[in-house]
Structure 1
């Protein structure tokens, strides 16, 4: 019985490690996809530039312009403009 539990544990451990590797590959592919885009959502911007939402909001208060087509709608960021804005600071 004990040997069966040990084998099950090893199986689950191996499966977990394989899943972690697959998740890492998918995350890297998603990041590459984001890097190729010129117009980003706030979530993509935060992930790409490794910043928090509060930092993003502070940049907006300091004068960074974003596009928000509808009131209370999605916010879009031009990646090139954000990079220029960050270079100035």
Structure 2
């Protein structure tokens, strides 16, 4: 199969999971929680701040920002799929 057809199938599979999955799982859970952990570890090792306090602060900020990240990822996935479909149909 052609690479663009495989990419289109992958994008369709991600879109089939839904917008809520993209926002909550990709944005909040994966991006937000992982970013919170990384920021708390950086603050702990570099500035010698309390890991627990830094993690609490980060968990208030980054999962909320993850909502925007997940929504942005959803928009980008749909845009790539539409562009790819247009390119395939023009062949």
Larger radius of gyration: 1
Query: Higher relative CO (CA 8 A, sep ≥ 6), structure 1 or 2?
Result: 2
TM, length-normalised to structure 1:
0.36
